[in-house]
Amino acid sequence: MAQICVLTGDLVLSTRLSPREIDAALAAIPAACADLDARINPVRHARHRGDGWQIAMSAPRWQARLALMIRAHLRVKGADLATRIAIAEGVGEVAPDLDLNAAHGPVFTASGQLLDRLEGPRIAHASGGALGAALRLFDHLSEGWTQAQARAMVPMLRPDPPTQTAAAAEIGITRQSLAQALQGAGYAAIVEALTLIETAR
């Protein structure tokens, strides 16, 4: 077994969604992983329990950023789309074929158990502590993102973000609109906090 980080989640109010809508919403998970793939490779993700998903990665320093990227990608797909995210660090084993449905170990148990009891905040860490506190604040800030704000955050949450001019061109808005959306989303404070978390690990 190896030290890994596991994120387990499920869609909120998925019973109101059609199977096609669930499939489209869950496509946000690999999209968020792709934005971090160069940093957290290998990252493994799988659909889990129908309307759920799971990610395992060997670079836990990026876990808070990935949680926010998942939220941003999902919010872009729908203003009412949301997921719970339960994060744990510890030992676990992934099968050679990278199938997470066959993975096991304490870290998978901890992440799954946290998800089962997660109420109120929708992003949480099994270990609590300072990282858990930071995630609680990230959850509060990002829960209020509009689709426009989430769309602006998607490129700017990458570890090596483009310039605002390039990001605006990528998503098809003006630089001024991008700047306004980022300000409303709390981008400056969020990215500063993420950098402090990631450089401390």
DSSP secondary structure code for residue 173 in this structure? S
Question: Smallest Cα–Cα separation from 18: which of 54, 53, 51, 52?
Answer: 51
pLDDT at 143: 95
Question: Smallest Cα–Cα separation from 73: which of 153, 134, 162?
Answer: 153
Tokens of residue 133, six digits: 């506190």
Burial class of 105 by CB neighbour count within 10 A (0 to 12, 13 to 18, 19+): middle
Q: The pTM is what? A: 0.92
**Domain spanning 2-127, CATH architecture:** 2-Layer Sandwich (3.30)
pLDDT at 13: 87
CA dist 123 and 141 (Å) reads 11
CA dist 34 and 134 (Å) reads 24
Q: Determine how β-strand 123-125 pairs with β-strand 83-92.
A: parallel
Give me the residues of the chain with pLDDT under 50, please. none
- Name the residue ranges covered by the structural domains of the chain: 2-127, 143-200
| Secondary-structure breakdown of the chain: helix, strand, coil percentages, each rounded to the nearest 5 | 55, 20, 25
**54, 7 contact by CB (below 8 A):** yes
Query: How do residues 15-44 score in pLDDT, each as one tens digit?
Result: 888 888 899 899 999 999 888 876 666 667
Question: Smallest Cα–Cα separation from 184: which of 132, 145, 130?
Answer: 145
- Positions of E strands within the chain: 2-11, 43-48, 52-57, 83-92, 123-125
pLDDT at 43: 64
